[in-house]
Amino acid sequence: MAALTGLAVDQPKRDAVAASAGMVALPKEKVLLELFVMSKCPDASYCEHYLQETVEKLSDIVHVRTEYIMQVDNKGGITCKHGDEECAGNLVQLCVGRHTPPDHNFDWFYRFLTCSWDSGLPVSSPELVTTCLDKVGASDAARTAVQRCIAGPQGRGLLYASAAVVARRGVVHSCTVAVDKRQRCVRDGGEWYDCPGGSDVADFERSICDAYKKRTGKDADACGEQRREGEEKQPRTA
């Protein structure tokens, strides 16, 4: 492992930088789907691709946020399991998430995540950022904001803020999935485990739909379709 250095040294400065970075507010009626990942972890790639269809199908009711599993030492250096490139890749993805408008959460941000794996380019390279922002159709304003974030203090603040969330929640495995801040499932070492409610695609859809109904008191149209599909698969009794 390697450490990303040259960041804020003492805790008060790190806290100030993190606070100044800001966070996209969760749309009021949307379910929060959190993916705790590492930008070079194979299980993160599997997880993000596995859930892509679900997120697209339920994009009207779900908002995806990624948090990154890193360690911060007492001098402010950030250590990532897969080295400095992963730390820099985490920063890139945090910046894209920060500057994606909520109504483009799937088509810009989520598709940027999967493009990062599919492009074959280094995860933090300028070429990847340009290629994937082109692919998802991000606006010129968003591109400019992302580039400023990557190059400036905001990106560092997002790293500190994300590392603090991971530490506070006690998450250690990439990829850990949470629905409305409740741990839902872990994909680690090529396997799903600790998945109350199951790990099939339909199981994740059901969890999001149930969380939406709990949050709003109503069914979304896509959830009604999901429930009908589930009923059709149930064995019929005479």
Q: Say if 143 falls within a structural domain.
A: yes
Q: Say if 59 falls within a structural domain.
A: yes
pTM of the model: 0.87
Residues with pLDDT less than 70, the chain: 1-23, 225-238
Q: Say if 17 falls within a structural domain.
A: yes
Q: Say if 238 falls within a structural domain.
A: no
Distance of CA 198 to the CA centre of its chain: 20
Provide the domain limits for residue 119: 2-230
Q: Say if 104 falls within a structural domain.
A: yes
pLDDT tens sequence across 19-69: 545 567 788 889 999 999 999 999 999 999 999 999 999 999 999 999 999
Number of domains in the chain: 1
Q: Say if 235 falls within a structural domain.
A: no
The CATH number covering residue 151 comes to 3.40.30.10
Q: What is the pLDDT of residue 101?
A: 94
Q: What is the pLDDT of residue 21?
A: 52
Q: Say if 236 falls within a structural domain.
A: no
Q: Say if 188 falls within a structural domain.
A: yes
Q: What is the pLDDT of residue 104?
A: 96
Q: What is the pLDDT of residue 56?
A: 97
